[in-house]
């Protein structure tokens, strides 16, 4: 008799009609029958009223195992994973209930949704004890659970042990690899699946398309698309969306647009995929046009769509339009708690300079969404608002949100950029206490200690990392060369090369800069060769670094050749080439290049003017130097202390000491020690001790930690025989903890760099150096003898 009620459940299209049927069952007494009651539980949950499902279940006197299983399944449908696990744990306490295999697929989904591997393994043990280990549906559910929780070795073991590997199990293992960032392994499983004769469907191809997009290989993406067409796999809305995303990630937006236009009934997912593709590739205006076309087509956007839309407004800096869309989202009651869109609102308002709006968004988010807090910390750091970034980190913790690796990495970067070592040390202590060993955090610590000059501590962190990524190696190499430890930077690169480790363009860029610092030409040439053989795509940054390296190493011909071969030249590219000519006394070539740069439409910056003034100073071209200094403001460049120092040095070297002194006095801010040093050096060169005496009052107020200034001043007094003043200056140095830094020289012998100076005691290197110099002297004498007898 109860089976007569089953068709009535199918006719219930809303909660009201279902409640009426429920009332009828109560009146007729059929609510005591397990079959209609179980169907009521399922129907209420399908219509979004899980609380009604629970009420029906509680009112039933003795639920059987099937009814328990249905309620567990309904909990999972409602994403109440913890409730589903609690129901199961309550159920197994009743010894009279027989647990059927029907329960386990839903229960395993609850375990993966809740993210508790321990409970999942416990349920797996129960499955084996109950004799359901060979059930194909349960095996597929176990495979999915381990895959969703990132336990790929367990997932693969389950897959290998499966008695029957059907389309579902193959699709599940492919998805597990792809979702855990193992795109190559996912595609390998797809290849094996095809070899075994399993015909993929559109669900399988969703994961395969995602894997191709993650790898960014356009050729492979086209092969997969061709396979779909040849096998006549239906390109439905979901697969079309995946193909659009795949092509955009591979840089082929034209193919993405063609697929989009070929679909007649475009779903929200497909529109979202196209809008996201435009946003991802930086084509913000086209993303917004597609969004408005979507609205005109009467297709409702969702919160995922709005993420790309708001991101596009942020990219364009359109505050007013972004606020209008914010109002649209509120009117549509879309994500009222900002769980999804909170981070994007933060990005929009931060990029438009509205920090106070961000604080209002954070007030709504509260302590629920760590991603929004991470976003504001990251953007504050990026914009140089370092104290604000760290203040938000503290505020986040007061709300009970524990910072994750992203929060900490961004905060450590803020400490690095601001030289806030004390706060950085406290964050490091927090990381150690929590036992965090995330790669992003460790790389940020290496960067922070390097920027604060503590390369030994940075290297200790680097050395303790067992599995070092290319980013970790790059961070340490960059840290070494930025602190003047270029030999150590090159040594670290050599370790990478000898161990066959992955290297990228950043690796080569950092080590090229280290070679530039050392003047290590042979190593630089070798690196240039490896760049070509490794197939590293040279870009503007690499070409500029190569130009700089060759120029600083004295090979101006090759530097000019690399410079001329550049398809695109930035102001930095022009500047390093000008600096190269200037450093080697080729002032005419430097001036010619400067003029070419201006004619090509590139505006010189502060560094460019610094280099051209330096070139004029080294060559003694006083009039040219004066002309360039006067023209700085014509290009919108305001002279800083370095420009004044260079100008004073130029005039002092040229003997126009009075003009140099007038320049110092005309400065809009007090001259520092480097500028007075230039004038003092000019006085020393031209024996103008009278001027030194006349400026002694100006020198009284100079306070600096520059040992070069005090050394120069004391030497001038010593050469004059004024030992009293000599001793006074040296005592002042000693009193503030300074000592004369010994000079050193570098020489390249047999493709190795040797460093030596006063008091150098390495016997091996000294003998090799003197041997080379003796041989060089003999060769020079033979050459002179040859010339005299021609």
Range scoring the smallest mean pLDDT among 174-188, 284-298, 749-763? 749-763
pLDDT band at 21 (very low <50, low <70, confident <90, very high): confident
* Structural tokens at position 689: 């001790």
- 408 within 8 A of 377, measured Cβ to Cβ: no
H runs (alpha helix) in 639-740: 641-653, 657-665, 673-685, 689-694, 696-700, 707-720, 723-735
Calpha distance 543→326 (Å, rounded): 44
Total number of domains constituting the chain: 2
Higher per-residue confidence, 702 vs 434: 434
Q: What is the pLDDT of residues 362-399, one digit of tens each?
A: 888 876 778 889 899 999 998 889 999 999 999 888 88
Domain membership flag for residue 732: yes
- Least-confidence region, from 271-280, 309-318, 406-415, 434-443: 434-443
Q: Give 513's contacts (C-beta < 8 A, 6+ positions apart).
A: 481, 545, 548, 549
In a domain? residue 689: yes
Distance CA 476, CA 463 (A): 10
Is 703 part of a structural domain of the chain?
Answer: yes
Which whole number is the average pLDDT over 351-361?
Answer: 88
What's the whole-number mean pLDDT along residues 613-639? 87
Question: Rounded to whole angstroms, how far apart are CA atoms 212 and 205?
Answer: 10
The residue among 502, 511, 427, 430 whose CA lies nearest residue 469 is 502
pLDDT at position 762 is 54
Alpha-carbon Rg for the chain, nearest whole angstrom, is 36
Determine the pLDDT at residue 748: 59
How far from 122 is each of 85, 93, 128, 337, 541, CA to CA, in Å? 12, 15, 10, 35, 54
Give the model's confidence band at 783: pLDDT under 50 very low, under 70 low, under 90 confident, else very high.
low
Quick one: 653 and 732 in the same domain?
yes
Q: Which residue has 């503007």 as its token pair? A: 540
Return the SS3 of 534: coil
Q: What is the pLDDT of residue 618?
A: 80
Has residue 227 been placed in a domain? no
* Amino acid 775: pLDDT: 64
Instruction: Give the Cα separation of 63 and 76 in Å (integer).
Output: 19
Please tell me the distance from the alpha carbon of residue 307 to that of residue 287, in angstroms, as a whole number. Answer: 11
218: left (phi over 0), alpha (psi -120 to 50) or beta: alpha
Residues of the chain above pLDDT 90, percent? 37
Residue pair 440/475 in contact by the 8 Å Cβ criterion: no
H-type alpha helices, 317-418: 319-331, 342-351, 355-365, 370-382, 386-398, 405-418
Contacts 24+ apart (CB under 8 A), 523-527: 523/490, 523/751, 523/753, 524/549, 524/550, 524/553
Is the pLDDT assigned to residue 266 strictly greater than 50? yes
Q: Percent of the chain having pLDDT more than 70?
A: 90
Run of H or E including 749: strand 744-749
| 1 has a pLDDT exceeding 50 | no
Query: What are the CA-CA distances from residue 770 to residues 407, 753, 763, 783 (Å)?
Result: 55, 15, 10, 20
Residues 736, 754, single domain; the answer is no
pLDDT at 437: 73
β-sheet bridge partners, residue 753: 748
- As a whole number, the mean pLDDT across the chain is 85
Higher pLDDT, 295 or 722: 295
**Domain match, 678 and 756 both:** no
* Domain identity same for 724 and 702: yes
Cα(119)–Cα(153) distance, rounded to whole angstroms? 18
Task: Classify residue 684: in a domain, yes or no.
Answer: yes
Alpha-carbon distance 480 to 488, whole Å? 6
Domain range holding 663? Answer: 649-741
Look at residue 672 and tell me whether its pLDDT is greater than 80: no
296-302 LR contacts (CB < 8 Å, sep 24+): 297/266, 297/271, 299/266, 299/267, 299/268, 299/271, 300/268, 301/268, 301/271, 301/272, 302/268, 302/272, 302/334
Question: At which residue do the structure tokens 């363009």 appear?
Answer: 505
**Residue 776: its pLDDT value, please?**
57
Lowest mean pLDDT among 9-18, 402-411, 766-775: 766-775
Show Cβ contacts of residue 524 under 8 Å, excluding neighbours closer than 6 positions.
512, 515, 516, 546, 549, 550, 553
Q: Look at residue 259 and tell me whether its pLDDT is greater than 70.
A: yes
Exposure class string for 456-486: b at 16+ Cβ within 10 A, else e: ebbbebbeebeebeeebbbbbbbbbbbbebb
The answer to whether position 584 is within a domain reads no
Size of the chain in residues: 790
* Pairwise CA distance, residues 106 & 45, whole Å: 14
747: which DSSP letter? E
- Whether the pLDDT of residue 770 is over 70: the answer is no
| Confidence check: pLDDT of 584 > 50 | yes
pLDDT in tens, 53-67: 888 888 888 888 888
Whether residue 765 has pLDDT greater than 60: no
Helix (H) / strand (E) element for 230: namely helix 218-230
Max CA pair span of the chain: 130
CA–CA separation, 468 vs 490, rounded Å?
17
End-to-end distance of the chain based on CA atoms, in angstroms?
Answer: 126
- In angstroms, the CA 680 to CA 641 distance is 16
State the virtual CA torsion across 159, 161, 167, 172 in degrees, nearest 10. Answer: -20
Q: How confident is the model at residue 782 (pLDDT cuts 50, 70, 90)?
A: low
Q: Reply yes or no on whether the pLDDT at 769 is more than 70.
A: no
pLDDT at 31: 65
Cα gap 641→675, rounded to integer Å: 8
734 and 659, same structural domain?
yes
Task: Answer yes or no: do 732 and 661 share one domain.
Answer: yes
Q: What is the pLDDT of residues 119-137, one digit of tens each?
A: 888 989 989 888 888 888 8
Whole-number pLDDT of residue 779: 58
Q: Which residues pair with 149 in a beta bridge?
A: none
Are residues 685 and 698 both part of a single domain? yes
Task: Please tell me whether residue 368 adopts helix, strand or coil conformation.
Answer: coil
Closest CA to 205 of 172, 228, 183: 228
Residues 683 and 761 in one domain: no
Eight-class DSSP state of 100: P
Mean pLDDT value across residues 296-309:
93
Given a cut of 80, is residue 211 above it in pLDDT? yes
CA–CA dist 216, 206 (Å, integer): 15
- Tell whether 663 is covered by a domain: yes
Judge if pTM exceeds 0.75: no
- Token couple for 337: 């708690």
Least confident span in 268-282, 484-498, 609-623, 680-694: 680-694
- Spell out the residues 6+ positions from residue 243 whose beta carbon is closer than 8 angstroms to its own: 209, 225, 228, 235, 256, 259
Structure tokens that stand for 574 in this block:
């022009």
Residue 787: its pLDDT value, please?
Answer: 46
Residue with tokens 């009620």: 5
Tell which of 741, 757, 780 closes a domain. Answer: 741
Q: Establish if 193 belongs to a structural domain.
A: no
In this structure, the answer to whether residues 656 and 732 fall within a common structural domain is yes
The helix/strand count (H/E) of the chain reads as 46, 2
Yes or no: say if 686 and 716 are a contact pair by the CB < 8 Å rule: no
């Amino acid at each position: 008799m109860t089976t007569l009620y089953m068709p009535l459940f199918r006719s219930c299209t809303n909660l009201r009609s279902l409640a009426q049927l429920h009332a009828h069952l109560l009146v007729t007494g059929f609510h005591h029958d397990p079959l209609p009651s179980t169907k009521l539980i399922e129907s209420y949950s399908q219509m979004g009223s899980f609380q009604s499902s629970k009420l029906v279940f509680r009112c039933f006197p003795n639920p059987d195992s099937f009814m328990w299983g249905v309620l567990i399944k309904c909990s999972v449908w409602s994403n109440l994973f913890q409730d589903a696990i609690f129901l199961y744990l309550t159920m197994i306490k009743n010894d009279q209930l027989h647990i059927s295999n029907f329960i386990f697929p839903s229960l395993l989904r609850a375990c993966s949704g809740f993210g508790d591997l321990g409970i999942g393994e416990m349920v797996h043990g129960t499955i084996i004890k109950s004799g359901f280990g060979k059930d194909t549906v349960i095996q597929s559910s176990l495979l999915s659970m381990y895959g969703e929780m990132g336990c790929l070795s367990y997932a693969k073991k389950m897959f290998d042990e499966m008695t029957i590997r059907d389309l579902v199990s193959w699709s599940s293992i492919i998805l597990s690899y792809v979702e855990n960032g193992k795109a190559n392994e996912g595609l390998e499983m797809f290849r094996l699946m095809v070899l075994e004769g399993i015909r993929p469907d559109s669900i399988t191809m969703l994961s395969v398309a995602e894997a191709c997009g993650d790898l960014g290989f356009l050729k492979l993406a086209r092969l997969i698309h061709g396979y779909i067409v040849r096998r006549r796999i239906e390109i439905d809305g979901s697969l079309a969306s995946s193909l659009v995303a795949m092509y955009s990630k591979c840089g082929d937006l034209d193919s993405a647009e063609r697929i989009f236009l070929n679909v007649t009934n475009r779903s929200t997912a497909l529109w979202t995929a196209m809008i996201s593709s435009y946003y991802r590739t930086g084509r913000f205006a086209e993303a917004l046009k597609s969004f408005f076309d979507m609205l005109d087509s009467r297709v409702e956007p969702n919160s995922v769509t709005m993420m790309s839309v708001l991101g596009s407004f942020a990219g364009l800096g359109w505050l007013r339009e972004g606020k209008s869309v914010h109002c649209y989202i509120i009117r549509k009651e879309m994500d009222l708690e900002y769980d999804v869109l909170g981070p994007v609102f933060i990005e929009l308002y931060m990029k438009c300079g509205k920090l106070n709006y961000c604080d209002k968004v954070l007030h709504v988010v509260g302590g629920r969404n760590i991603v929004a807090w991470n976003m504001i910390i990251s953007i504050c750091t990026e914009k140089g608002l370092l104290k604000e970034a760290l203040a938000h980190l503290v505020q986040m913790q007061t709300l009970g949100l524990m910072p994750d690796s992203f929060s900490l990495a961004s905060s450590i970067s803020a400490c690095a950029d601001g030289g806030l070592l004390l706060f950085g040390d406290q964050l490091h202590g927090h990381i150690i206490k929590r036992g965090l060993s995330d790669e992003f955090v460790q790389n940020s610590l290496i960067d922070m200690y390097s920027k604060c000059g503590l390369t030994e501590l940075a290297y200790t962190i680097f050395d303790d990392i067992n599995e070092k990524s290319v980013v970790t190696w790059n961070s340490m190499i960059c840290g070494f060369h930025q602190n003047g430890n270029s030999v150590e930077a090159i040594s670290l690169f050599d370790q990478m090369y000898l161990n066959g480790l992955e290297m990228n363009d950043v690796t080569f860029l950092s080590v090229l800069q280290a070679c530039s610092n050392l003047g290590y030409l042979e190593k630089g040439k070798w690196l240039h060769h490896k760049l070509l053989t490794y197939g590293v795509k040279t870009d503007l940054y690499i070409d500029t670094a190569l130009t700089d390296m060759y120029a600083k190493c004295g090979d101006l011909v090759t530097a000019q050749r690399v410079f001329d071969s550049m398809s695109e030249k930035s102001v930095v590219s022009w500047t390093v080439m000008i600096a190269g000519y200037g450093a080697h006394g080729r002032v005419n070539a430097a001036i010619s290049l400067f003029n070419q740069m201006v004619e090509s439409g590139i505006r010189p910056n502060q560094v460019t003017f610094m280099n051209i003034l330096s070139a004029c100073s080294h060559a003694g071209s006083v009039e040219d130097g004066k002309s360039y200094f006067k023209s700085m403001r014509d290009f919108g460049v305001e002279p800083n202390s370095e420009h004044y120092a260079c100008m004073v040095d130029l005039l002092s070297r040229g003997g126009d000491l009075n003009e140099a002194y007038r320049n110092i006095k005309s400065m809009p801010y007090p001259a520092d020690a480097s500028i007075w040093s230039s004038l003092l050096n000019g006085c020393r060169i031209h024996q103008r001790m009278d001027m030194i005496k006349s400026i002694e009052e100006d020198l009284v107020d100079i306070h600096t930690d520059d040992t070069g200034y005090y050394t120069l001043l004391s030497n001038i007094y010593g050469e004059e025989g004024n030992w009293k003043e000599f001793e006074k200056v040296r005592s002042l140095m000693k009193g503030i903890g300074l000592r004369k830094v010994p000079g050193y020289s570098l020489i390249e012998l047999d493709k190795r760099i040797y460093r030596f100076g006063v008091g150098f005691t390495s016997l091996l290197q000294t003998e090799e150096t003197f041997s080379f110099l003796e041989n060089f002297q003999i060769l020079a004498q033979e050459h002179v003898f040859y010339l005299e007898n021609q």
